[in-house]
C-alpha cells in the first residue's frame, strides 16, 4: 500500500522522529551484517518515498509557508527571561539593531532550553530547523531590533557529517570532500579489514583547519544591513563599508528582501536584485535575484583587503515604488 506524503512540515518531523526511533531500536537488536544491511535498505526506501513526495527537511518547500519573514521589535520595553514567544519557523536568524545585541537572546522551540546569545552568534543557523523561538531583550529606549528568519538549507553547508562503518570487509573506501563548510566531520571506523582507506579534503592548508575555517576562528564577525523605503524602479538602496587598513574582510553570505511600498502593489511581482560591489575598483563581486527576496552563501568567501570600499545594494526592478533591505555577513581578520 502506497503511503500518502505528510500533510505539512510538522507532520513530516513527527514521522521522521518515529522512524528514527524505530531505526535505533532495530539497530540495537541487530546481531549480524545481514540484519544491518536490511535495516539500511528499509531506511533508503523511506528516504526515496519522502523525496518522491517532495517533502524535504525545509519548511519553505511546504505549501503556504514563505521562504522568509522579517519582524521589527521595539526595545522600549524589556522581554525578561525566558522571553516572548515568536511563532515563526525557520532554519536561520539574522539580527540587526540600531542599539546593541549584547543583552539579546533567543531560545528555540522551548522556553526552558539554553539561551543563544545573538551578540556572539549572528547570523545563527540550525540545520534541523525550529518551529518557534522565544526572544529575550533588555530595555533600550528609542532602539529597535529587526530579525530576518530564513527557511531552507544554505548551499554547501553541512552541519554534521559522520561516517560510521562497523564490522565491514571493504576493499576500498574513499571520502572526498571539496569546497564545503563543515561544522563537524567525524570519521569513526571500528574493527575493519581495509586494503586502503582514503580521506581526501581539498583546499587544505593545515592538518586541522581549512583556511576559511581558520580565518573564521581568528576573525571578528561582521554583519552589514541597509534598508530604504519608497525606492523607484531601477533604483537601489543599501549601504557602504571601507575595510580598515591592515585588515582583510571575508564575506560568506548575502540576503535581501523587497515589497511594494503601497499596499495595493504587494500582490504584484516584487522583482529585486541584491549586489555586492567593490566600489574602489568598480567590480561587481556577487549578485542574487528573486521575487520578494533572495539569499546566497559563498563556499569560497569573497575577499576585500584593507582600503577597499564595499557597496551592498538592493535594486528594485519591479514597476512600482518598493521598500527594501539587504544584509551581508562574514568576518574580518
Residue 246 lies in a domain: yes
**Does one domain contain both 45 and 106?**
no
**Does one domain contain both 235 and 327?**
yes
Residue 60 DSSP class = G
pLDDT at site 181: 56
**Does one domain contain both 315 and 261?**
yes
Produce one character per residue of 228-256: b if its CB has 16 or more CB atoms within 10 Å, e if not: beebeeeebbbbebebeeeebbbbbbbbb
Residue 282 lies in a domain: yes
Give per-residue pLDDT as tens, 63-108: 456 888 999 999 999 999 999 999 999 889 999 999 999 999 999 9
Q: Is the confidence at residue 183, as pLDDT, over 70?
A: no
In the chain, the percentage of residues whose pLDDT exceeds 70 is 62
**Does one domain contain both 34 and 96?**
no
Across the chain, mean pLDDT equals 80
Name the domain boundary from 105, 126, 150.
150
Residue 62 lies in a domain: no
The range of the structural domain enclosing residue 136 comes to: 68-150
**Does one domain contain both 245 and 326?**
yes
How many structural domains is the chain composed of? 3
**Does one domain contain both 233 and 301?**
yes
**Does one domain contain both 32 and 87?**
no
Q: Which of 160-169, 242-251, 312-321 has the lowest mean pLDDT?
A: 160-169
Residue 146 lies in a domain: yes
Residue 320 lies in a domain: yes
Name the domain boundary from 10, 32, 56.
56
**Does one domain contain both 224 and 294?**
yes
Contact (CB, 8 A) for 261 and 322: yes
Produce one character per residue of 106-140: b if its CB has 16 or more CB atoms within 10 Å, e if not: bbbeebeeebbbbeeebbbbeeebbeebbbbbeeb
Q: What is the pTM of this model?
A: 0.39
Q: Is the confidence at residue 159, as pLDDT, over 90?
A: no
Name the domain boundary from 97, 122, 150.
150
CA distance 1 to 178: 41
Q: Which of 86-90, 182-186, 235-239 has the lowest mean pLDDT?
A: 182-186
**Does one domain contain both 139 and 233?**
no
Residue 75 lies in a domain: yes
pLDDT at site 8: 63
**Does one domain contain both 111 and 4?**
no
Residues belonging to the chain: 333
Cis-peptide, bond into residue 82, ω within 30° of zero: yes
CB proximity list for 36: less than 8 A, separation 6 or greater:
27, 30, 166
**Does one domain contain both 9 and 44?**
yes
Q: Is the confidence at residue 58, as pLDDT, over 50?
A: no
**Does one domain contain both 89 and 5?**
no
Residue 174 lies in a domain: no
CATH code: domain of residue 297:
2.60.120.1390
Q: Is the confidence at residue 27, as pLDDT, over 70?
A: no
pLDDT at site 214: 61
CA distance 255 to 135: 22
Residue 63 DSSP class = T
Residue 245 lies in a domain: yes
CA distance 253 to 302: 9
Amino acid at each position: 500500500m502506497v503511503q500518502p506524503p505528510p500533510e505539512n512540515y510538522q507532520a513530516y518531523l513527527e514521522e521522521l522522529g518515529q522512524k528514527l526511533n524505530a531505526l535505533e531500536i532495530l539497530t540495537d537488536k541487530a546481531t549480524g551484517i545481514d540484519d544491518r544491511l536490511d535495516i539500511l535498505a528499509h531506511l533508503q526506501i523511506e528516504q526515496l518515498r519522502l523525496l518522491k513526495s517532495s517533502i524535504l527537511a525545509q519548511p519553505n518547500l511546504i505549501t503556504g509557508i514563505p521562504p522568509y519573514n522579517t519582524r521589527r521589535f521595539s526595545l522600549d520595553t524589556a522581554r525578561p527571561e525566558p522571553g516572548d514567544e515568536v511563532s515563526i519557523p525557520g532554519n536561520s536568524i539574522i539580527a540587526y539593531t540600531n542599539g546593541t545585541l549584547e543583552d539579546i537572546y533567543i531560545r528555540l522551540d522551548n522556553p526552558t532550553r539554553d539561551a543563544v546569545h545573538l551578540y556572539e552568534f549572528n547570523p545563527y543557523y540550525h540545520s534541523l530547523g525550529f518551529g518557534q523561538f522565544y526572544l529575550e531583550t533588555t530595555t533600550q529606549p528609542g532602539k529597535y531590533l529587526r530579525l530576518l528568519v530564513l527557511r531552507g538549507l544554505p548551499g554547501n553547508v553541512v552541519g554534521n557529517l559522520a561516517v560510521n562503518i562497523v564490522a565491514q570487509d571493504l576493499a576500498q573506501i574513499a571520502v572526498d570532500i571539496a569546497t564545503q563548510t563543515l561544522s563537524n566531520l567525524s570519521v569513526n571506523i571500528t574493527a575493519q579489514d581495509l586494503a586502503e582507506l582514503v580521506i581526501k579534503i581539498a583546499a587544505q592548508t593545515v592538518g586541522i583547519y581549512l583556511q576559511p575555517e581558520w580565518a573564521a576562528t581568528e576573525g571578528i564577525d561582521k554583519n552589514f544591513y541597509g534598508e530604504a523605503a519608497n525606492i523607484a524602479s531601477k533604483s537601489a538602496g543599501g549601504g557602504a563599508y571601507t575595510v580598515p587598513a591592515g585588515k582583510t574582510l571575508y564575506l560568506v553570505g548575502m540576503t535581501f528582501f523587497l515589497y511594494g511600498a503601497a499596499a495595493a502593489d504587494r500582490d504584484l511581482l516584487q522583482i529585486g536584485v541584491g549586489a555586492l560591489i567593490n566600489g574602489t575598483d568598480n567590480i561587481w563581486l556577487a549578485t542574487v535575484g528573486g521575487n520578494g527576496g533572495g539569499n546566497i552563501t559563498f563556499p569560497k568567501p569573497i575577499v576585500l583587503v584593507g582600503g577597499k570600499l564595499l557597496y551592498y545594494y538592493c535594486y528594485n526592478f519591479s514597476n512600482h515604488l518598493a521598500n527594501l533591505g539587504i544584509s551581508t555577513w562574514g568576518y574580518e581578520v
